[in-house]
Amino acid sequence: MGGGELARDFLQDDLVDELYIGVVPVLIGEGLPLFLPGFPQREFSLLENKTFSKGMDRPKVRLASVGKRSKK
């Protein structure tokens, strides 16, 4: 199980509040999607975005429903 699969499982079970996502500007075929077709819709708020000298972006996002749902 790779990092993307693990992240999807945690997101699907509502176990994630914030994400740091590494975006590397390199084309690999069609790319590797974080969210597969049929994945439940999630709303995120951008907290910050860091851009590195080689072009990589690292957005930090928070699940918009954080604070709206009850703690498990």
pLDDT of residue 26 exceeding 80, the answer is: no
Average pLDDT, the chain: 80
Q: What pLDDT score does 72 carry? A: 46
pLDDT in tens, 6-19: 888 888 888 989 98
pLDDT in tens, 34-68: 778 888 888 889 999 999 988 889 999 998 876 55
The dihedrals phi and psi of 28, each to the nearest 5 degrees, come to -120, 90
Q: Which two tokens stand for residue 14?
A: 């509502």
Q: What pLDDT score does 45 carry? A: 93
Residue 71's SS3 state is coil
In 1-72, where do the E strands start and end? 18-20, 44-51, 57-63
